[in-house]
Amino acid sequence: MQLKVPQDSKKTLNLGGQLLDLSIPRVMGIVNVTPDSFYAGSRVAARTDEVIQKVGQMLAEGATMLDVGGYSTRPGAVPVGLEEEWERVEPVVEAIRRYFPEALISVDTFRAEVARWAVERGAHLINDVSGGTLDEAMLDTVARLKVPYVLMHMRGTPQTMAQLTHYDHLVPDVMRELRQKLIQLRQRGVADVLIDPGFGFAKTIPQNFELVRNLAAFQSLGCPLLVGISRKTTIWRTLGITPDEALNGTTVLNTLALQAGASILRVHDVRPAVEAIKLWRATMGVD
Protein backbone atom coordinates (compact mmCIF):
# COMPACT_ATOMS: atom_id res chain seq x y z
CA MET A 1 0.00 0.00 0.00
CA GLN A 2 1.28 3.46 -0.87
CA LEU A 3 0.77 6.22 1.67
CA LYS A 4 0.37 9.79 0.45
CA VAL A 5 0.46 12.66 2.91
CA PRO A 6 0.18 16.03 1.13
CA GLN A 7 1.53 18.10 4.05
CA ASP A 8 4.23 20.70 3.52
CA SER A 9 7.42 20.40 5.50
CA LYS A 10 9.64 23.23 6.63
CA LYS A 11 11.66 24.59 3.72
CA THR A 12 14.51 26.50 5.35
CA LEU A 13 17.62 25.56 7.31
CA ASN A 14 19.74 27.85 9.50
CA LEU A 15 23.39 27.00 8.94
CA GLY A 16 25.68 29.19 10.99
CA GLY A 17 23.42 32.21 10.55
CA GLN A 18 22.97 31.55 6.83
CA LEU A 19 19.37 30.74 5.95
CA LEU A 20 19.34 28.03 3.31
CA ASP A 21 16.26 27.94 1.09
CA LEU A 22 15.17 24.33 0.62
CA SER A 23 12.25 25.10 -1.65
CA ILE A 24 14.90 24.33 -4.28
CA PRO A 25 16.27 20.81 -3.63
CA ARG A 26 19.95 20.75 -2.74
CA VAL A 27 22.85 18.32 -3.12
CA MET A 28 25.08 17.09 -0.31
CA GLY A 29 28.37 15.64 -1.51
CA ILE A 30 29.82 12.68 0.36
CA VAL A 31 33.44 12.93 1.53
CA ASN A 32 34.41 9.65 3.18
CA VAL A 33 37.69 9.75 5.10
CA THR A 34 37.63 5.97 5.57
CA PRO A 35 39.55 3.08 4.03
CA ASP A 36 36.53 0.74 3.89
CA SER A 37 33.44 2.64 2.73
CA PHE A 38 31.39 0.44 0.41
CA TYR A 39 32.01 2.65 -2.62
CA ALA A 40 35.71 3.19 -3.23
CA GLY A 41 35.06 6.26 -5.37
CA SER A 42 33.85 8.19 -2.32
CA ARG A 43 37.00 7.68 -0.26
CA VAL A 44 39.51 10.43 0.25
CA ALA A 45 42.71 10.44 2.27
CA ALA A 46 43.05 13.05 5.01
CA ARG A 47 45.70 14.87 2.96
CA THR A 48 45.21 18.51 2.15
CA ASP A 49 45.88 18.18 -1.58
CA GLU A 50 43.43 15.31 -2.05
CA VAL A 51 40.75 17.00 0.05
CA ILE A 52 41.10 20.25 -1.90
CA GLN A 53 40.76 18.44 -5.22
CA LYS A 54 37.74 16.37 -4.15
CA VAL A 55 35.90 19.18 -2.42
CA GLY A 56 36.72 21.73 -5.10
CA GLN A 57 35.26 19.46 -7.77
CA MET A 58 32.07 18.86 -5.78
CA LEU A 59 31.53 22.56 -5.15
CA ALA A 60 32.24 23.40 -8.81
CA GLU A 61 29.65 20.80 -9.85
CA GLY A 62 26.99 22.39 -7.66
CA ALA A 63 27.13 20.79 -4.21
CA THR A 64 25.48 23.01 -1.60
CA MET A 65 27.12 21.20 1.31
CA LEU A 66 29.68 18.52 2.04
CA ASP A 67 29.23 15.56 4.38
CA VAL A 68 32.49 14.48 6.01
CA GLY A 69 32.60 11.06 7.64
CA GLY A 70 35.37 9.15 9.41
CA TYR A 71 33.47 6.01 10.42
CA SER A 72 32.20 3.57 7.80
CA THR A 73 28.63 2.59 8.62
CA ARG A 74 28.17 -0.01 5.91
CA PRO A 75 26.67 -3.30 7.18
CA GLY A 76 29.26 -5.23 9.19
CA ALA A 77 31.81 -2.39 9.16
CA VAL A 78 34.73 -2.71 11.56
CA PRO A 79 34.26 -0.39 14.58
CA VAL A 80 36.51 2.66 14.79
CA GLY A 81 37.58 4.29 18.06
CA LEU A 82 36.65 7.83 19.01
CA GLU A 83 40.16 9.23 18.65
CA GLU A 84 40.76 7.51 15.31
CA GLU A 85 37.48 8.82 13.92
CA TRP A 86 38.40 12.35 14.96
CA GLU A 87 41.94 12.04 13.58
CA ARG A 88 40.35 11.29 10.21
CA VAL A 89 37.71 14.02 10.32
CA GLU A 90 39.59 16.96 11.85
CA PRO A 91 42.12 17.66 9.06
CA VAL A 92 39.39 17.47 6.43
CA VAL A 93 37.10 19.91 8.22
CA GLU A 94 40.01 22.28 8.80
CA ALA A 95 41.16 22.04 5.16
CA ILE A 96 37.66 22.83 3.90
CA ARG A 97 37.34 25.78 6.26
CA ARG A 98 40.75 27.11 5.16
CA TYR A 99 40.49 26.70 1.41
CA PHE A 100 36.70 26.94 0.92
CA PRO A 101 35.54 29.25 3.74
CA GLU A 102 32.06 29.68 2.27
CA ALA A 103 31.42 25.93 2.06
CA LEU A 104 28.74 24.40 4.26
CA ILE A 105 30.06 21.41 6.21
CA SER A 106 28.12 18.48 7.60
CA VAL A 107 29.86 15.90 9.77
CA ASP A 108 28.60 12.33 9.61
CA THR A 109 28.99 10.95 13.14
CA PHE A 110 26.93 9.28 15.85
CA ARG A 111 29.33 10.41 18.60
CA ALA A 112 28.54 13.53 20.61
CA GLU A 113 32.19 14.35 21.22
CA VAL A 114 33.06 14.23 17.53
CA ALA A 115 30.03 16.41 16.84
CA ARG A 116 31.15 18.97 19.41
CA TRP A 117 34.74 19.05 18.20
CA ALA A 118 33.61 19.39 14.59
CA VAL A 119 31.28 22.31 15.25
CA GLU A 120 33.98 24.04 17.30
CA ARG A 121 36.17 23.85 14.19
CA GLY A 122 33.54 25.23 11.86
CA ALA A 123 31.11 22.46 10.88
CA HIS A 124 27.53 23.65 10.35
CA LEU A 125 25.43 20.50 10.61
CA ILE A 126 25.52 17.06 12.28
CA ASN A 127 24.40 13.98 10.36
CA ASP A 128 23.76 11.16 12.84
CA VAL A 129 23.00 7.78 11.24
CA SER A 130 21.82 6.44 14.59
CA GLY A 131 19.25 9.14 15.29
CA GLY A 132 20.65 9.58 18.77
CA THR A 133 20.43 5.90 19.72
CA LEU A 134 24.17 5.12 19.91
CA ASP A 135 25.27 8.03 22.10
CA GLU A 136 22.83 9.20 24.75
CA ALA A 137 24.61 12.56 24.91
CA MET A 138 24.04 13.39 21.24
CA LEU A 139 20.64 15.10 21.43
CA ASP A 140 21.65 17.32 24.35
CA THR A 141 24.93 18.13 22.58
CA VAL A 142 23.21 19.18 19.37
CA ALA A 143 20.82 21.33 21.38
CA ARG A 144 23.74 23.10 23.10
CA LEU A 145 25.60 23.55 19.83
CA LYS A 146 22.50 25.07 18.18
CA VAL A 147 23.19 23.44 14.82
CA PRO A 148 20.85 21.59 12.45
CA TYR A 149 20.63 17.84 12.92
CA VAL A 150 19.94 15.01 10.48
CA LEU A 151 17.71 12.55 12.31
CA MET A 152 18.11 9.21 10.55
CA HIS A 153 16.32 5.98 11.29
CA MET A 154 18.41 2.99 12.25
CA ARG A 155 18.16 0.06 14.62
CA GLY A 156 21.11 -1.48 16.43
CA THR A 157 24.62 -0.72 15.20
CA PRO A 158 26.31 -1.04 11.80
CA GLN A 159 27.48 -4.45 13.01
CA THR A 160 24.00 -5.69 14.05
CA MET A 161 21.45 -3.77 11.99
CA ALA A 162 21.12 -6.44 9.28
CA GLN A 163 19.47 -8.71 11.87
CA LEU A 164 16.97 -6.05 13.01
CA THR A 165 14.72 -5.77 9.97
CA HIS A 166 11.44 -7.07 11.42
CA TYR A 167 8.64 -4.50 11.41
CA ASP A 168 4.94 -4.98 12.01
CA HIS A 169 4.23 -2.27 9.43
CA LEU A 170 7.37 -0.76 7.96
CA VAL A 171 6.44 2.84 7.17
CA PRO A 172 4.29 3.51 10.27
CA ASP A 173 6.90 1.83 12.49
CA VAL A 174 9.79 3.86 11.06
CA MET A 175 7.77 7.06 11.30
CA ARG A 176 6.80 6.33 14.89
CA GLU A 177 10.42 5.74 15.92
CA LEU A 178 11.52 8.91 14.16
CA ARG A 179 8.67 10.91 15.70
CA GLN A 180 9.70 9.83 19.21
CA LYS A 181 13.21 11.19 18.65
CA LEU A 182 11.88 14.31 16.96
CA ILE A 183 9.77 15.07 20.03
CA GLN A 184 12.88 14.73 22.21
CA LEU A 185 14.75 17.13 19.94
CA ARG A 186 11.93 19.68 20.01
CA GLN A 187 11.77 19.45 23.81
CA ARG A 188 15.45 20.38 23.86
CA GLY A 189 14.86 23.35 21.62
CA VAL A 190 16.43 22.00 18.42
CA ALA A 191 14.71 24.01 15.70
CA ASP A 192 16.30 22.67 12.51
CA VAL A 193 15.88 18.95 11.94
CA LEU A 194 16.17 16.98 8.71
CA ILE A 195 14.50 13.57 8.42
CA ASP A 196 16.29 10.64 6.76
CA PRO A 197 14.33 7.34 6.60
CA GLY A 198 17.62 5.43 6.64
CA PHE A 199 17.79 3.49 3.39
CA GLY A 200 19.84 0.35 3.95
CA PHE A 201 19.99 0.73 7.72
CA ALA A 202 18.06 -2.13 9.34
CA LYS A 203 16.09 -2.44 6.10
CA THR A 204 15.97 -5.22 3.51
CA ILE A 205 16.04 -4.47 -0.20
CA PRO A 206 12.23 -4.86 -0.55
CA GLN A 207 11.79 -2.62 2.49
CA ASN A 208 13.98 0.05 0.92
CA PHE A 209 11.76 0.08 -2.16
CA GLU A 210 8.71 0.31 0.10
CA LEU A 211 10.26 3.39 1.69
CA VAL A 212 10.82 4.91 -1.75
CA ARG A 213 7.16 4.28 -2.66
CA ASN A 214 5.97 5.92 0.55
CA LEU A 215 8.59 8.63 0.97
CA ALA A 216 6.00 11.42 0.72
CA ALA A 217 4.42 10.18 3.95
CA PHE A 218 7.46 11.34 5.90
CA GLN A 219 6.55 14.94 5.14
CA SER A 220 3.93 14.58 7.87
CA LEU A 221 6.79 14.93 10.37
CA GLY A 222 7.08 18.57 9.32
CA CYS A 223 10.81 18.52 8.51
CA PRO A 224 12.77 18.63 5.26
CA LEU A 225 13.60 15.20 3.88
CA LEU A 226 17.16 14.06 3.20
CA VAL A 227 17.56 11.01 0.98
CA GLY A 228 20.79 9.02 0.96
CA ILE A 229 20.44 6.10 -1.40
CA SER A 230 23.44 6.78 -3.62
CA ARG A 231 25.00 3.61 -5.07
CA LYS A 232 23.60 1.48 -2.24
CA THR A 233 23.07 -2.28 -2.22
CA THR A 234 19.39 -1.86 -3.05
CA ILE A 235 20.43 -0.53 -6.46
CA TRP A 236 23.35 -2.68 -7.50
CA ARG A 237 22.09 -6.01 -6.21
CA THR A 238 18.69 -5.48 -7.80
CA LEU A 239 20.36 -4.71 -11.12
CA GLY A 240 23.01 -7.43 -10.81
CA ILE A 241 25.89 -4.95 -11.10
CA THR A 242 28.53 -3.41 -8.80
CA PRO A 243 28.55 -0.16 -6.80
CA ASP A 244 30.86 1.28 -9.48
CA GLU A 245 28.10 0.74 -12.05
CA ALA A 246 25.22 2.05 -9.94
CA LEU A 247 25.15 5.71 -10.97
CA ASN A 248 22.26 5.37 -13.40
CA GLY A 249 20.17 3.52 -10.83
CA THR A 250 21.02 6.18 -8.26
CA THR A 251 19.74 8.90 -10.58
CA VAL A 252 16.46 7.03 -11.13
CA LEU A 253 15.78 6.68 -7.39
CA ASN A 254 16.90 10.24 -6.68
CA THR A 255 14.38 11.46 -9.25
CA LEU A 256 11.62 9.45 -7.55
CA ALA A 257 12.73 10.98 -4.25
CA LEU A 258 12.43 14.48 -5.71
CA GLN A 259 8.89 13.69 -6.84
CA ALA A 260 8.10 12.64 -3.27
CA GLY A 261 9.38 15.91 -1.82
CA ALA A 262 13.03 15.30 -0.98
CA SER A 263 14.85 18.52 -0.10
CA ILE A 264 18.42 17.20 0.00
CA LEU A 265 20.04 14.43 -2.04
CA ARG A 266 23.11 12.98 -0.32
CA VAL A 267 25.26 11.60 -3.12
CA HIS A 268 28.67 10.39 -4.22
CA ASP A 269 28.24 11.98 -7.66
CA VAL A 270 27.31 15.65 -7.50
CA ARG A 271 26.86 16.66 -11.12
CA PRO A 272 24.31 13.95 -12.04
CA ALA A 273 22.26 14.84 -8.95
CA VAL A 274 22.37 18.56 -9.78
CA GLU A 275 21.26 17.77 -13.33
CA ALA A 276 18.45 15.56 -12.05
CA ILE A 277 17.17 18.43 -9.90
CA LYS A 278 17.38 20.88 -12.81
CA LEU A 279 15.48 18.58 -15.16
CA TRP A 280 12.91 17.70 -12.51
CA ARG A 281 12.28 21.39 -11.81
CA ALA A 282 11.94 22.12 -15.53
CA THR A 283 9.47 19.27 -15.86
CA MET A 284 7.46 20.64 -12.93
CA GLY A 285 7.50 24.12 -14.52
CA VAL A 286 9.40 25.64 -11.60
CA ASP A 287 11.76 28.55 -12.24
In-domain check, residue 5: no
Is 155 designated active site?
Answer: no
In-domain check, residue 3: no
pLDDT of residue 20: 95
pLDDT of residue 142: 98
From 4, 266, 271, 278, active-site residue: 266
Q: What is the per-residue pLDDT across 138-197, written as a single tens digit (0 to 9) for each?
A: 999 999 999 999 999 999 988 899 999 999 999 999 999 999 999 999 999 999 999 999
CA nearest neighbour of 125 among 99, 147, 155: 147
In-domain check, residue 13: no
In-domain check, residue 15: no
Q: What is the per-residue pLDDT across 19-74, written as a single tens digit (0 to 9) for each?
A: 999 999 999 999 988 765 444 554 555 566 788 888 999 999 999 999 999 887 76
Number of domains in the chain: 1
Task: Give residue 125's pLDDT band: very low, low, confident or very high (50, 70, 90).
Answer: very high
List the CATH number of the domain containing 29: 3.20.20.20
Task: Give residue 75's pLDDT band: very low, low, confident or very high (50, 70, 90).
Answer: low
Q: Write out the residue range of the structural domain in which residue 48 sits.
A: 22-281
Q: Is 124 helix (H, G, I), strand (E, B) or coil?
A: coil
Is 144 designated active site?
Answer: no
Q: ∠ CA 62-65-69 to the nearest 5 degrees?
A: 125
In-domain check, residue 216: yes
In-domain check, residue 271: yes
Strand-pairing partners, residue 139, are none
pLDDT of residue 76: 63
pLDDT of residue 100: 95
From 88, 111, 155, 232, active-site residue: 232
Q: What is the per-residue pLDDT across 236-280, written as a single tens digit (0 to 9) for each?
A: 999 999 999 999 999 999 999 999 999 999 999 999 999 999 999
Dist. CA 65–CA 59, nearest whole Å: 8
In-domain check, residue 82: yes
In-domain check, residue 203: yes
Dist. CA 216–CA 198, nearest whole Å: 14
Look up the pTM and report it.
0.91
